[in-house]
Amino acid sequence: MHIHILTLFPNMFTGPFNESIIKRAVERGLVDISIYNIRDCTSDKHHIVDDYPYGGGPGMVLKPEPVFETVEMVRGERDIPVILLTPQGRLFNQQIAADIAGYEEFILICGHYEGVDERVREHLATDEISIGDYVLSGGELAAMVVVDAVVRQIPGVLGSDESVGEDSHATGLLEYPQYTRPQDFKGWEVPEVLLSGNHAEVARWRREQSLRRTSKRRPELLDRAILSDKDRVFLARIKSEE
Ligand code: 6GU
């Protein structure tokens, strides 16, 4: 997979992309990440990337020319998805991450300042993504979030003991509680069932914990989760206990 990121702040990416899972994925050749400074594609002497909004109002707007110029330079004759990161985009989730993980190549544009010229949205972007209902100073942190969530879904990126399958949201449910040694920490004990060695019992306990936790914290997720008859019986039971 080849990810192209267009930004005014390329240095922001060096830390996060040079650690942990993303670093390893790049080193293994599973993903290639190219960062482009939008300012490098300006043609005026002062390398101006933003300007005042038509109609007045506060803040500056990212000009269309350097953004179009950078995208055209990157994609050449190739037809590749162009994703604009903006608080006005569709809300990012695990399913969107999985869809993007199927792309061979894509471009992320980090919006900055108070806005991006509407013609970028209308005539360049093929998709718009937001990572949540809050305002960030720019799309850079959002791009890092998207890249992390996507890269960890590429086959071969995670080792077998880091499997993506049981993570919160991967199953449509929140993850079950996890424990490691010591068995007794300050008098707080690991649940007995996890020490039992009974794999079926452990699996049942984890499933019920996932269901219980999801029902309590994020009940709306249950509408979309894949549930067995047994799961539904369990949910009905805990509901009647409330
Ligand atoms: Cl993608 N960009 C900005 N600037 N703020 C955000 C966001 C994106 N997603 C949530 N808030």
> What gap in Å lies between CA 194 and CA 201, rounded to an integer?
8
224 given a catalytic annotation = no
Lowest-confidence pick of 79-88, 102-111, 158-167: 158-167
Last residue of a domain, one of 151, 179, 204: 151
Single-letter code of the amino acid located at 40:
D
Q: Which DSSP state fits 136?
A: -
Give every CB contact of residue 107 below 8 A, 6+ residues apart in sequence.
Answer: 4, 5, 6, 71, 74, 75, 80, 81, 82, 83
For residue 193, give the CATH number of its domain.
Answer: 1.10.1270.20
Query: Are 134 and 42 within one domain?
Result: yes
Query: Are 117 and 27 within one domain?
Result: yes
Give every CB contact of residue 195 below 8 A, 6+ residues apart in sequence.
Answer: 183
Would the CB of 142 count as within 6 Å of ligand 1? yes
Query: Both tokens of residue 47?
Result: 């390398």
Query: Are 174 and 95 within one domain?
Result: no
* Number of domains making up the chain: 2
Query: Are 179 and 127 within one domain?
Result: no
Would the CB of 132 count as within 6 Å of ligand 1? yes
First to last CA, the chain: 48
Number of Cβ within a 10 Å radius of residue 45: 6
Query: Are 95 and 38 within one domain?
Result: yes
> What gap in Å lies between CA 32 and CA 96, rounded to an integer?
20
Q: In this structure, is residue 158 part of a structural domain?
A: no
Catalytic residue of the set 75, 87, 105, 207: 87
Give the pLDDT confidence of 116-173 residue by residue, as tens digits.
999 999 999 999 999 999 999 999 999 999 999 999 999 999 987 777 777 778 789 9
Query: Are 146 and 184 within one domain?
Result: no
Q: Does position 239 have pLDDT exceeding 80, yes or no?
A: yes
What sign has the CA pseudo-torsion 55, 61, 64, 66? positive
Query: Are 141 and 205 within one domain?
Result: no
Would the CB of 87 count as within 6 Å of ligand 1? yes
Q: How many CA atoms lie within 13 A of 4 on its CB side?
A: 22
Query: Are 45 and 94 within one domain?
Result: yes
For the CA of 133, the nearest atom of ligand 1: 10
pLDDT of residue 170: 79
Would the CB of 135 count as within 6 Å of ligand 1? yes
Domain range for 94 is 2-151
Q: What is the CA(91)–ligand 1 centre distance, in A?
A: 10
Q: Does position 198 have pLDDT exceeding 90, yes or no?
A: yes
Query: Are 29 and 70 within one domain?
Result: yes
Would the CB of 85 count as within 6 Å of ligand 1? yes
Beta bridge partners of 51: 61
Q: Backbone phi, then psi, for 84, in 5-degree steps?
A: -95, 125
How confident is residue 113, by pLDDT bands cut at 50, 70 and 90?
Answer: low
- Ligand 1 pocket check: which of 12, 85, 128 to mutate, most ligand atoms within 8 Å of Cβ? 85
Query: Both tokens of residue 174?
Result: 């929140």
For residue 35, give the CATH number of its domain.
Answer: 3.40.1280.10
Q: What is the CA(90)–ligand 1 centre distance, in A?
A: 11
Q: In this structure, is residue 159 part of a structural domain?
A: no
Q: In this structure, is residue 57 part of a structural domain?
A: yes
Q: What is the CA(48)–ligand 1 centre distance, in A?
A: 23
Q: Give the dihedral of Cα atoms 134, 140, 145, 149; nearest 10 deg.
A: 140
pTM of the full predicted structure? 0.95
Would the CB of 131 count as within 6 Å of ligand 1? yes
Q: Backbone phi, then psi, for 129, in 5-degree steps?
A: -125, 140
Q: In this structure, is residue 35 part of a structural domain?
A: yes
